[in-house]
Amino acid sequence: MNRLRALARILRTILGAPDYDRYLRHMAARHPGCRVLSRDEFVASRLDARYARPGSRCC
C-alpha cells in the first residue's frame, strides 16, 4: 500500500497536479504558526496559476 502511495506521488508530480499534503508539510516545517490555505483555496490557486502561463501546454 505504501509502495502504491509512493507511486501515486511520483505520478502526481509528473502531472504537475497540486499536492496539498506536501504544502502542509512545508508550512509546518518552515513557517509554523502562519495561516495555511484550506485545501480548496490551495488547489484553486495552484490550478489558476498553472493555466495562466503560455508554457502550460506545448505543441
Contact (Cβ atoms closer than 8 angstroms) between residue 19 and residue 13: yes
The site map against other proteins for 21-40 (x = CB under 8 A) is xxx-xxx-xx--------xx
3 counts as binding other proteins under rule CB under 8 A: no
Say how far apart CA 27 and CA 37 lie, in whole Å.
10
47 counts as binding other proteins under rule CB under 8 A: yes
Say how far apart CA 46 and CA 19 lie, in whole Å.
9
Question: What is the closest distance, in whole angstroms, from the C-beta atom of residue 31 to other proteins in the complex?
Answer: 9
6 counts as binding other proteins under rule CB under 8 A: no
